Amino acid sequence: MKLFVGLGNPGVKYAQNRHNIGFMAVERIASDHGFSPWRAKFQGQTSEGRLGSEKVILLKPDTFMNLSGQSVGEAMRFHKLTPQDVVVFHDELDLAPSKCRLKTGGGHAGHNGLRSIHQHIGEAYDRVRLGIGHPGHKDRVAGYVLSDFAKAEQVWLDDMMRGISDGAGALAEGDGPKFLNAVALRVAPPRSGTGTAQASKSKNKPEKLVKNEPTVEEDTRSPMEKLVDRFR
């Protein structure tokens, strides 16, 4: 059994915030894979279903971000899970928007949700780091993560959510590379061979040899000299 945890803040006010991208990820998995309706449990909202051969519990803590670990710890203890059974989806300032990376263990890098989870279950759990970019200065971080995604970001955001849903089964089975590949295929699908392949062919094609033309010397004679030469 796996516990997939999406981090965010509860309530309509925060629903479209960048900080809530973890909630968005598990909501998309639940919707696309026919999971049970969400219900209140473990100081949060849970939904259950299967991804391939794995039973998976989805969890959205209702404790607000800074106390996420309370909800995660309660769910983990109830189901007798270890930290290795837990996968946390969270926003990542240090990754460019639309980038997705996997990490096991390590520090929390100042993320309040991860800091709380560290305090309750330790650090040996898996994280799906979802890039939202950085506002450029640390003083702007709080306002940035608690603001909604811009309209211009909706395309890549939807592609990322589709990719996460596509690869959810592989993630549940522990196949990280396959999961990341599913996300990449949605966010940055390969181009058709008409452009890149042709450019590559052209680049590797031997240059056409140009035959040397005979050189023609410049005529420096004066008009009078030319006339004299004609009658020689």
pLDDT tens-digit profile of 208-231? Answer: 434 444 444 456 666 666 555 555
Burial class, 184, CB count within 10 angstroms (exposed 0-12 / middle 13-18 / buried 19+): middle
Going 165 to 30 to 17 to 63, the CA torsion angle's sign is negative
- CATH code of the domain in which 176 resides: 3.40.50.1470
On whether the CB atoms of residues 130 and 98 are closer than 8 A, the answer is no
| DSSP state, residue 209 | P
Residue 156's domain comprises 2-187
Residue 196 lies in a domain: no
Residue 190's pLDDT is 85
Can you tell me the distance from the alpha carbon of 8 to that of 62, in angstroms, rounded to the nearest whole number?
9
Can you tell me the distance from the alpha carbon of 59 to that of 73, in angstroms, rounded to the nearest whole number?
11
Residue of higher predicted confidence among 200 and 102: 102
Going 103 to 109 to 111 to 113, the CA torsion angle's sign is positive
Residue 192 lies in a domain: no
Residue 194 lies in a domain: no
pLDDT tens-digit profile of 166-182? Answer: 999 999 999 999 999 99
In 124-216, where does DSSP find H-type helix?
Answer: 141-145, 154-172, 176-187, 196-204
129 has pLDDT over 60:
yes
Residue 74 lies in a domain: yes
Active site residue 19: yes
Active-site residue (options: 19, 33, 108, 111)? 19
Can you tell me the distance from the alpha carbon of 5 to that of 87, in angstroms, rounded to the nearest whole number?
6
Residue 221 lies in a domain: no
Number of domains comprising the chain: 1
140 has pLDDT over 90:
yes
Residue 154's pLDDT is 96
pLDDT tens-digit profile of 69-96? Answer: 999 999 999 999 999 999 999 999 999 9
